[in-house]
């Protein structure tokens, strides 16, 4: 089925990293453009700094994006963390949380397919980064409760998801 459309005329998307580079510069974030296909940046958050990694594949017109927490998961806490990841993922509409196995850090991941599109808009890329940072900030306390507070994943998630009303 995928071969039928390719024969009609395949248009490749322009490199979204060019647009992302401008977004990162506008936010005054530290970044490194490693190649035409890779870029890394660091974004400040309320709880920690986040490492953003963007990878562009022109062959499949897809971009992979990850946002890593500045938190190292001890081996002894990985099992409850995996349970927390599954519970957190149930609450997401876009992207998912995982654990980067080599570094042992939680990450938010998302991929964007752009086959047949001229490219990604600056607005859609800004939204992608904003959603990732918002979700990381929203779930960060649950990660802390499980990793350092010894709380059960469901209990940590419930405590972290409390919506405060008003100001003290």
The residue among 59, 60, 41 whose CA lies nearest residue 132 is 41
pLDDT (tens digit, 9 = 90+) per residue, 79-106? Answer: 999 999 999 999 999 999 999 988 889 9
pLDDT (tens digit, 9 = 90+) per residue, 18-41? Answer: 999 999 999 999 999 989 999 999
Per-residue model confidence (pLDDT) at position 8:
41
Number of neighbours of residue 136 by Cβ within 10 angstroms: 24
Percent of the chain with pLDDT over 90: 61
Per the prediction, the chain carries an average pLDDT of 87
The structural domains of the chain, with segments of one domain joined by +, span 2-160
CATH fold of 2-160 reads Yope Regulator; Chain: A, (3.30.1460)
Per-residue model confidence (pLDDT) at position 1:
43
């Amino acid at each position: 089925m995928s071969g039928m459309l390719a024969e009609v005329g395949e248009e490749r998307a322009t490199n979204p990293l060019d647009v992302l580079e401008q977004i990162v510069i506008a936010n005054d974030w530290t970044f490194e453009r490693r190649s035409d296909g890779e870029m890394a940046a660091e974004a400040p958050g309320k709880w920690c700094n986040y490492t953003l990694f963007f990878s562009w594949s022109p062959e499949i017109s897809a971009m992979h994006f990850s946002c890593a927490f500045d938190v190292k998961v001890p081996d002894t806490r990985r099992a409850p963390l995996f349970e927390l990841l599954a519970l957190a993922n149930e609450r997401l509409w876009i992207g998912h949380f995982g654990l980067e196995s080599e570094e042992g850090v939680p990450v938010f991941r998302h991929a964007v397919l752009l086959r047949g599109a001229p490219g990604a808009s600056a607005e859609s890329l800004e939204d992608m980064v904003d959603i990732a940072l918002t979700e990381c900030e929203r779930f960060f306390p649950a990660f802390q409760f499980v990793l350092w507070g010894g709380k059960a994943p469901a209990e940590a998630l419930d405590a972290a998801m409390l919506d405060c009303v008003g100001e003290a």
